[in-house]
C-alpha cells in the first residue's frame, strides 16, 4: 500500500505572509521614526536655545539662529524618506545612507549648539549697536538636546532603510516615464483607413 506524499510544496506560500507583514511593519516603523525625528528637530530649532543680558537688556536666540544645520538636515531626511517609494534596489540603500548622514549631522550640530554663545553675543551686539558687546549671565535651554534626539531618530530610520529597504514596496510601473509606441499599422504598411484611425486615436503612424 503506497503512502501519500507529504504536502511540502505548500510551505513557501505559508512563509510568504509573515515575511511580507514584517516588511510592512519595518516600513511603518521607519516612517514613524522619520516623521517623529523631523518634527522634534524642526520644533526644537524654532525654540529659544540661549538667553542672557546685555546692558540691562534681555537677549535670546532660537536654535535656527544658533545653527541652520539641524533644521535643514531634518528636511533633507524627511524628503529622502519620501523618496524611498520612488526607488528600487540599490537606490533604497543610497536613500537610507543619506537619511542616516542627515540625522547624524543634525544631532551633531545640535550638540555643538547646546553650549555655543556666539549667536547670543551677536544678538547682544546688534541690540546695543556695539560690535564688541557680549551677553552676560548666559544660560542654555534643553531644546538643543531635543533636536539631538530627533536627529538620532532620523539616523535610526536611515539605518533601518539600509537594513530592510530592499523588501519594501516601490511605486508601480504606471508611475514610470511613458514609453512612446509605434502604431502597429505603420509597421505593417496599413491601409489609408487604418492610418486615419490611428491618427484619430492620437497615435503617430510615421
Q: Is residue 2 part of a domain?
A: no
Q: Is residue 183 part of a domain?
A: no
Cell reading at 187 = 509597421
Cell reading at 41 = 528637530
Q: Is residue 1 part of a domain?
A: no
Lowest average pLDDT, out of 10-14, 45-49, 108-112, goes to 10-14
pLDDT tens figures, 89-139: 888 889 899 999 999 999 999 999 999 888 998 888 888 888 878 888 889
Domain count for the chain, please give it: 1
Q: Does the pTM exceed 0.75?
A: no
Provide mean pLDDT across the span 67-90. 88
pLDDT value at position 5? 54
CB 150 within 8 A of CB 36: yes
Q: Give me the CATH number covering residue 163.
A: 1.20.140.150
- The DSSP code for 48 is E
- What residues make up the domain containing 140? 21-170
Q: Is residue 37 part of a domain?
A: yes
Q: Is residue 131 part of a domain?
A: yes
Q: Is residue 117 part of a domain?
A: yes
Amino acid at each position: 500500500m503506497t503512502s501519500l506524499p507529504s504536502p511540502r510544496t505548500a510551505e513557501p506560500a505559508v512563509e510568504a505572509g509573515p515575511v511580507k507583514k514584517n516588511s510592512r511593519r519595518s516600513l511603518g516603523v521607519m516612517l514613524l521614526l522619520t516623521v517623529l525625528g523631523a518634527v522634534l528637530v524642526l520644533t526644537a530649532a524654532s525654540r529659544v536655545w540661549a538667553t542672557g543680558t546685555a546692558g540691562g537688556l534681555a537677549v535670546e536666540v532660537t536654535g535656527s539662529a544658533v545653527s541652520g544645520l539641524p533644521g535643514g538636515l531634518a528636511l533633507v531626511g524627511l524628503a529622502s524618506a519620501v523618496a524611498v517609494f520612488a526607488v528600487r534596489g540599490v537606490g533604497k540603500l543610497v536613500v537610507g545612507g543619506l537619511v542616516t548622514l542627515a540625522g547624524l549631522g543634525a544631532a551633531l550640530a545640535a550638540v555643538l549648539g547646546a553650549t555655543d554663545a556666539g549667536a547670543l553675543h551677536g544678538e547682544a551686539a546688534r541690540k546695543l549697536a556695539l560690535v564688541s558687546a557680549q551677553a552676560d549671565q548666559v544660560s542654555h535651554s534643553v531644546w538643543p538636546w531635543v533636536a539631538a534626539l530627533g536627529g538620532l531618530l532620523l539616523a535610526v530610520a536611515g539605518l533601518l532603510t539600509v537594513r530592510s529597504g530592499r523588501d519594501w514596496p516601490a511605486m508601480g510601473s504606471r508611475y514610470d516615464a511613458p514609453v512612446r509606441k509605434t502604431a502597429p499599422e505603420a509597421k505593417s504598411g496599413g491601409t489609408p483607413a487604418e492610418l486615419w484611425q490611428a491618427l484619430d486615436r492620437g497615435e503617430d503612424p510615421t
